[in-house]
Amino acid sequence: AGTLLPPDVQRFLDAGAAPVAFTAGTANASSHAFFDASVRACQLSGHRGLLLTRHREQLPDRLPDHVAHVGYVPFGALLPRVSALVHHGGIGTAHQALRAGIAQLVRPMGFDQFDNARRLASLGVSLSLLPRRYRPDAVASALDRLTGDPSVRHRCVELASALSTERDGTSVAADAVLGFASRLGL
């Protein structure tokens, strides 16, 4: 969280309202339709957008002034500065958004992502759209609902506060291994 943001990202964040961040996940290199619909959703809704992908070829050729692209930025530094995160539903991404206290729009594509999307919705911090329903008008509507609903904002803040006292998972695991080894006399 103490990591500095790149100067171009810092300038974009400082230039207006908190944007919505969009990521298809680091393993997804074929997301042109996702980013195109995301840009168009920002145009429809008036939200500023920040597109996160290392694959520039996934993006539309031209981005409007209120939408920017960055190849990489640490989520710990970025997410507290955005209004919402649109993502694939990976558990690590979902957890970081929960810790940052921001709303989430999940576009699950496989594996545990569908279950993660359901669980986030049950917490009152997200909505989800299946890839076939990820159209500009649906995305714009979902973002307006998520960012405009005070109960979503309250729930995000509440969960972030609860997670702020969470111990580092690596330390918890190391303590468990050492405790087990000690019981075995190792």
* Contacts of 150 by beta carbon, 8 Å cutoff, 6+ apart: none
pTM: 0.86
Give the separation between CA 185 and CA 40, rounded to whole angstroms. 61
The mean of the pLDDT values for the chain is 91
Check residue 27 and give its pLDDT. 62
- Give burial (CB, 10 Å; 0-12/13-18/19+) of 125: buried
Check residue 171 and give its pLDDT. 72
pLDDT for 172 beyond 50: yes
- Which residue do the tokens 């904002």 mark? 153
Check residue 84 and give its pLDDT. 98
Tell me: the pLDDT tens digits for 103-144? Answer: 999 999 889 999 999 999 999 999 999 999 999 999 999 999
Higher pLDDT, 30 or 129: 129
Mean pLDDT of the 1-24 span: 90
pLDDT for 175 beyond 90: no
- Which residue do the tokens 């840009």 mark? 39
CA dihedral (159, 164, 169, 172) positive or negative: negative
Most confident of 3-17, 38-52, 164-178: 38-52
Specify whether the CB–CB gap between 169 and 96 falls below 8 A: no
Tell me: the pLDDT tens digits for 71-92? Answer: 999 999 999 999 999 999 999 9
Sheet holding 67-70, edge to edge: 67-70, 49-52, 20-23, 84-87, 103-106, 126-128
pLDDT for 25 beyond 80: no
